Amino acid sequence: MVDAVTLSDDIFAFDNSYARLPERLFARVSPSPAPAPQLLALNRRLAEELKLDLDRLTSREGVEILTGGRIAEGSEPIAMAYAGHQFGNWVPQLGDGRALLLGEVIDRNGRRRDIQLKGSGRTPFSRSGDGKAAVGPVLREFIISEAMAALGIPTTRSLAAVATGERVYREEVLRGAVLTRVAASHVRVGTFQYVYARQDGEGLRALADFVIARHYPELTEAEVPALALFEAVKARQADLVARWMGVGFIHGVMNTDNMTISGETIDYGPCAFMDTYREGQVFSSIDVGGRYAYGNQPGIAHWNLVQLAQALLPLMPGPQEKAVETMQAAVDAFPEQLQAAWLGVIRRKLGLSPATGVKAAEEDAVLANDLLSRMEANGADFTLTFRGLAALTDPEAPEREAVPGFFADPDAFNAWAAKWRARLAEDPMVPAERRAVMNGANPLFIPRNHRVEEALAAAEDGDLGPFKTLCAVLERPFEDQPEHAELSQPPLSEDAAYRTFCGT
């Protein structure tokens, strides 16, 4: 293998804090140069946010950095070590098998961001894999991660997609590619599990101190830092999963190594968005038991947090029995915390104010669940049903009558709508404000699975036009875009069956 060339410049102003942690938390790796790199997509807005020079980034040398052929000055490529529960099964060593953290930069807002290559070649954690990625999965993550960001959901970001000029061998021969991923950090629940399983107390404390300093600096002086850290991560996960549920997103592989400590969505392999609402909806080809179905995501987040709590126990002060009792109480509070976050999301989607009191919360939850049950029984589209509700509050909206037509039995919706209107009559929000809130909570455009596949198929054939159009539309998911109305529509019935794959 030809070693990557070091480039003496400052395209990336790296300052690498993770590489200063104990080296047993990562492995230093040289990426594999690509024979013929070609830039497929560049996120210019994100590049500007990261204070990157666009001309230099898109130059031949810049594109080579984005595949690993050149190592920018200050970069310290490392593959991070972590463990995890995959579909509930413990795996003591996973790690970045096809990813390399090039380093960290400080963006325009003073936030520290990881710059990582995904698909740049083998690492000590690759096991039997080749460490490579293909054009389809790379562009898919680009589309969906950027759509999630536009939807206001915490997520890793996609800076660039570059074809490598190599062939990648899966069930078929595919074009190779590398994704440049940006994250607040790539520390996962599985990272803590890795050091905990090795009874590495020093490493565990160093990792916890790092995470607090980087993501939760307000906890630096906490009385019990480990507990405060767990509470902070728990709060972010409650908010994150509630937001997922609000747009019909199904992660597809919520293993503990795919839950970030920062609260960002990570790893867009077998994920998908629902068209027709179904609580048990699964798209992932490997989730044969439905462990990560849409409606199971709150419970899985809870399960994953149990694993984090266990890993943090050695950092708790006092007698072990008392530490376990304290942490268990924190864990047990999560379902109620997530329910509150979900109620906040669904109230905005229904045009309701954040009412107070247990009785109001219970009644609004019943109202929301009644709608979802009727949607499932009648094959209603998740996104269009909620988007259409705002029109029903506007007597002049031409699309007022659309929503009942999404239901196999329109009367099922109309019966629910009568109860909803009665609830709105009690709500203090004025109609204009209500419509604005609803249209800001209910997207019109999501990455419809069939449209994503169409864009990827065209890209595989060398036509990036559909990919670029889809990305541009998804940048404004809450806006009416009549010229692209077809991209808001669900698939025809014969196209509705859809399976996703992890891309490895």
**Residue positions annotated with a catalytic role:** 257
| 451: exposed, middle or buried (Cβ count in 10 Å: 0-12, 13-18, 19+) | buried
Give yes or no for a contact between 224 and 322, defined as CB atoms under 8 angstroms apart.
Answer: no
200 DSSP 8-state letter: -
> What are the structure tokens assigned to 178, written together?
């590398």
- DSSP class per residue in 224-258: SHHHHHHHHHHHHHHHHHHHHHHTTEE-S---GGG
Neighbouring CB atoms inside 10 A of 441's CB total: 22
For tokens 């809130």, name the residue: 437
Q: Are 155 and 247 in contact (CB under 8 A)?
A: no
What DSSP string runs through 289-304? T-TT-GGGHHHHHHHH
Helix (H, G, I), strand (E, B) or coil at 14: coil
Give the pairing of strands 70-72 and 5-7.
Answer: parallel
Measured CA to CA, the distance from residue 497 to residue 281 in angstroms comes to 11
- Written as one string, the DSSP assignment of 389-434 is HHHTT-TT-TTTTTGGGGSSSHHHHHHHHHHHHHHHHH----HHHH
Question: Distances from the Cα of 290 to the Cαs of 87, 222, 279, in angstroms?
Answer: 10, 39, 11
Sign, CA torsion 311/315/321/323: negative
Q: Are 215 and 184 in contact (CB under 8 A)?
A: yes
* DSSP percent split of the chain into helix, strand, coil, nearest 5: 45, 15, 40
The amino acid sitting at 54 is: L
What is the Cα–Cα distance from 98 to 504, expressed in whole angstroms?
Answer: 9
Rounded to 5°, angle at Cα 488 from 486 and 491: 75
